[in-house]
Amino acid sequence: MADLILFNKPFQVLCQFTDEPTKDGQKRRATLADWIRIPNIYPAGRLDYDSEGLLLLTSDGALQHRIASPEQKMPKTYWVQVEGEISASAIDQLAAGVTLKDGRTRAAKARKMDEPELWPRVPPVRQRNTVPTSWLELTITEGRNRQVRRMTAAVGFPTLRLIRYRIGDWSLDGVEPGKYRKIPVNLPTTPKSAKRPIPTKSGKTPRRRRSS
């Protein structure tokens, strides 16, 4: 049994527990430590600074790997506000896969949706009075850098607001922005070595700030 944290990450919050200092004296950005005071947990996957929604965290390395590993192909569902009235042909292109600089994306699930009932974003999305906006639901099984934003831009509809609603069987339902919910998850028995947090690409364990 492992504990999983379902966190609704607000806009402009770093997906880590510390912010690296800058040489030009830039103000410290908000981090997970400003919202979560649970020791020894780490994000299972990433969510961009300027994206909102579901982020999963755990102290169990096997569960972290199951969620974050590209080999698992765990589906992730996003609600996306785009600039312009998105067309049926653009939806079809997103579903079939689009060609990006780092290759063609896998087939996805894409559909136009009504504007969801959401919390207000702070600061609000900048919109032009002369240009309409629309919403789509997009489910992908990859995790390329800024993939959803690049996909909608590739079909001619830039992303204005991006919210991750679901990862696998877990969703934002019942989790308000800036809040989290802890749930138990049953896992098969794994070697002790698999229960440590998965290192980052640099070979280091993800950094976090000590709880005070």
Catalytic residues: 48
Nearest to 98 by CA among 80, 82, 110, 86: 110
Ramachandran class of 65: left when φ > 0, alpha when ψ lies in -120 to 50, beta otherwise: alpha
Cβ(170)–Cβ(66) below 8 Å: no
